[in-house]
Amino acid sequence: MSYISKQERAVAINPTRSCAPIGAMLANYGIHGAITINHGSQGCATYPRHQMARHFREPVEVATTSLSEKTTVYGGKGNLLAALKNIVERFHPTLIMVCSTCLSETIGDDIPGVIDEFLDKHPEVTIPILSVKTPSYIGNHTTGFDNFLKEIANNLPERRKKKGETNGKINMIPGWVNPGDIRELKHILREMGLHGVWLTDYSETLDGGYYEPRPHVARGGTTIEELRSSSKSLATVALQRHVGGEAAHIYERRYNVPAHVLTMPIGLANTDALVDTLTEITDHPVPETLQVERARLLDALVDTHMFTTGLRVALYGDPDLLEGLVGLVAEMGMTPAYVLTAADNGPWGERMVELSEELGVESEIILKGDLHELHKRIKARPVDLLIGHSKGKFIADAERIPLLRVGFPVEDRFGYHRRAIVGYNGAIALVDEITNLIFERKASAVVSNTLLELGVEGPSNVPIAVCNGSAA
């Protein structure tokens, strides 16, 4: 029977989370020509830039108000006014997002009030300037991303001039994903003959090409005009409950755009739910290309079940990512023994217990946890596979467990931000990689679909054939 546990230790050891401002910065990178001002110390901008650059392998530009000891005592209003003026004059952005930090929130700077004062003094400035609350002592990196999306939904869309006016598009909120995931989602919509307004789209801005001369702003991203017209869309589809789900409901309440909040489309059933939702919204039939991709995923699951069924898996990361991955793990016949997130989210934990019971698997759902806590459990009851970002490599090395790298950050491998884990194609890639990791670590050979386990020998110095973890 699945159950919820919660880490009681106050100190985090090897945490699985990042700070809230990094989420808002990442989301803002998906708007064409937008720039972020981090209202805090220099380190509050340097750390997110460092993390994003190591994951996406792209230069990341973020402005900072560089608060010092003096501004900490007397307030950072002057620094923020100067930063806004410099950014407008030097960069000519399409949008400015000012995100707060622990420091600026603690000293009580009124960021919206400073923005209003700046606009009053500079009536020639007509671009939108948003303020997003992202103190890192409330929530984590997904909180910052979600808060940014709510600010977009509340402030940028225009009211419909005529009742029933529509742009014929669907608002798509992918949540915290990689550029490769956004491209795969675009592929699904394109095959169905649909057009999306992406909130937001950093598939090119954080995975771009090398151009000469270098463009003034990164290519790609959702335009301000598209965001203005998003109130006229046919529906809003949020692909993560906790990153974008509330923004979808804001569209429904404020602009009468129906909201559909789904589980992250990882694996067969979750991707089916996305395709079915798009069909329901538009009456467009499922094209043969997607039917073929689905059939290919089913074939991959059948072809690999003898290697994966019965294996125990430990997963860690963001709530939405874990919810999608648990579905795929169960479809492969594996048991998600431990599912750990840094978020202190009781409703999500209860939903994961319900999901585990629905899938027929037993899991320990660990809230507010870190990787030290996960390592203790794995030492007590080992697992066959670890799934999460690069920070889990210390557990993988110490316990000799294969690590499937997904999520953020992946900094010890190259090109993972270009990989898709969503959709039928993304699930096929995950099934292939998981199976190959099992081959690499658990078997010295594969003969007639049977694993010959490493280091296990029979009476006549003949390896014992092992299938699905039991001696044959």
Query: What is the residue-wise DSSP string for 406-463?
Result: -SS---SSSSGGG---SHHHHHHHHHHHHHHHHHHHHEEEEETTEEEEEEEE-TTS-E
pLDDT at residue 9 is higher than 90:
no
Predicted pLDDT of residue 451: 64
Q: Say how many residues make up the chain.
A: 472
Same-domain check for residues 277 and 305: no
- Span of 183-187, 304-308, 444-448 with lowest mean pLDDT: 444-448
What are the CA-CA distances from residue 172 to residues 196, 199, 229, 417 (Å)? Answer: 6, 6, 13, 20
pLDDT at residue 4 is higher than 80:
yes
Same-domain check for residues 222 and 241: yes
Residue 448, in any domain of the structure:
no
Predicted pLDDT of residue 471: 36
Residue 459, in any domain of the structure:
no
Same-domain check for residues 326 and 434: yes
For residues 435-463, give the mean pLDDT: 63
Same-domain check for residues 35 and 123: yes
Same-domain check for residues 318 and 381: yes
pLDDT at residue 189 is higher than 80:
yes
Residue 161, in any domain of the structure:
no
For residues 162-173, give the mean pLDDT: 92
Same-domain check for residues 129 and 237: no
Give the integer Cα–Cα distance in Å for 200 and 222. 6
Which one-letter amino acid corresponds to residue 14?
N
pLDDT at residue 348 is higher than 50:
yes
Domain span at residue 65? 20-155
Residue 165, in any domain of the structure:
no
DSSP 168: S
Same-domain check for residues 425 and 313: yes
Same-domain check for residues 268 and 319: no
CATH number at residue 253: 3.40.50.1980
Give the integer Cα–Cα distance in Å for 74 and 91. 28
Residue 163, in any domain of the structure:
no
Number of domains forming the structure of the chain = 3
pLDDT, averaged across the chain: 92
Query: Which phi and psi angles does 26 have, rounded to 5°?
Result: -65, -45
Residue 182, in any domain of the structure:
yes
Predicted pLDDT of residue 465: 38
pLDDT at residue 460 is higher than 50:
no
Predicted pLDDT of residue 204: 96
pLDDT-based confidence at 293, cuts 50/70/90?
very high
Share of the chain above pLDDT 70, in %: 93
Q: Which of 389, 388, 385 is nearest to 434 (CA)?
A: 385
Residue 67, in any domain of the structure:
yes
Predicted pLDDT of residue 459: 40
Higher pLDDT, 465 or 24: 24
Give the integer Cα–Cα distance in Å for 354 and 352. 5
Which one-letter amino acid corresponds to residue 76?
G
pLDDT-based confidence at 88, cuts 50/70/90?
very high
pLDDT-based confidence at 11, cuts 50/70/90?
confident
Last residue of a domain, one of 253, 285, 317: 285
Q: Are 404 and 434 in contact (CB under 8 A)?
A: yes
Give the integer Cα–Cα distance in Å for 452 and 373. 32
Predicted pLDDT of residue 162: 82
Same-domain check for residues 104 and 240: no
Higher pLDDT, 280 or 446: 280
In terms of pTM, does the model score above 0.85?
yes
* SS3 of residue 301 by DSSP: helix
Predicted pLDDT of residue 453: 64
Which one-letter amino acid corresponds to residue 459?
P
For residues 358-370, give the mean pLDDT: 93
Tens digits of residue pLDDT in 68-81: 999 888 889 999 99
Same-domain check for residues 39 and 149: yes
Last residue of a domain, one of 285, 320, 344: 285
Same-domain check for residues 297 and 397: yes
What are the CA-CA distances from residue 156 to residues 68, 105, 147, 189, 199 (Å)? Answer: 33, 24, 14, 24, 12
Predicted pLDDT of residue 227: 98
pLDDT at residue 444 is higher than 80:
no
Cis amide prior to 409 (ω within 30 degrees): yes
Same-domain check for residues 125 and 28: yes
pLDDT-based confidence at 456, cuts 50/70/90?
very low
Strand order in the sheet with 95-100: 63-64, 34-39, 95-100, 129-132
- Span of 9-18, 87-96, 295-304 with lowest mean pLDDT: 9-18
Last residue of a domain, one of 155, 186, 209: 155
Q: Are 324 and 351 in contact (CB under 8 A)?
A: no
Predicted pLDDT of residue 164: 79
Residue 271, in any domain of the structure:
yes
